[in-house]
Structure formats: structure tokens, C-alpha cells
Amino acid sequence: MSYIDGYVVPVKAGDKEAYRAAALKMSALFHEFGATRVVENWGDDVPPGKTTDFWGAVKCEPGEVVAFSWIEWPSKAVRDVGMGKLRTDPRMQGPMPFDGKRMIFGGFETLVDTARKG
């Protein structure tokens, strides 16, 4: 089964197009290094929680939006090699349109995948 990297970041609402442009650039690199799918999502129905929520997880500030993303890899082994290459690739340098210190991320083993083909 596939392996998933998930990310949640706070982005200034006015930086939506800059975020989209950066995401397109990054997705090309992820694909080059073995990813099979990259999905970037812009929060538009992210309710506040009573105990915890996406907003608190990334310490969103007024005027920021939560972006939720995932990268699908064919396996953890492919992901480990691909991410190793990404970390040293000079194209990964430069400013990002979000505060990377408040990003949460992790790698996940797929337990259930009910995607319909077609």
C-alpha cells in the first residue's frame, strides 16, 4: 500500500496565490523524486474545536488560513529516498509563503483506502 506524508500550515489569507505557486513548484519536485500524488487544500470550512483543532495545532493568527496537504508515495522506502533527495536539492531553498516553524507534519502508513477507480 501507499505511504502518505501529511502537512498542516498556517498561511496569510492574502498569500493564497503565492502559496499555490509554491505548491505547484514543490509538487513537481515531489513527483520528480517518486511521489505519485500531491494534494494541496485551502481551508474554507475549518470549525474551531472545543479541546483542540487545526487552528490551534499551527497557532493560527488573525488573518491566516489553514492549509492541509498530503503527498502520496508508492512506499515508505521510496518516500525515504525521495525526501532525502529533496532535503539536499538546491531548488528547495528560498522563502516559503508560510511560517514553517508552525507547520505540523508526519508520515503515515495506509490502513484503509477505499478510492474508487474510474
Domains of the chain, start order: 3-109 (3.30.70.100)
In the predicted model, is pLDDT for residue 1 greater than 90? no
Tens-place pLDDT, residues 40-72: 999 999 999 999 999 999 999 999 999 999 999
Which pLDDT score, from 0 to 100, does residue 102 have?
A: 95
Q: What percent of the chain has pLDDT over 70?
A: 100
How many whole angstroms separate alpha carbon 15 and alpha carbon 34? 28
Q: What is the pTM of this model?
A: 0.90
Q: How far is CA 9 from CA 47, 54, 91, 103, 118, in A?
A: 16, 9, 20, 5, 31
Would you say 92 and 30 are in contact if contact means Cβ atoms under 8 Å apart?
no
SS3 of residue 29 by DSSP: helix
State in Å, rounded, how far the first CA of the chain is from the last one: 19
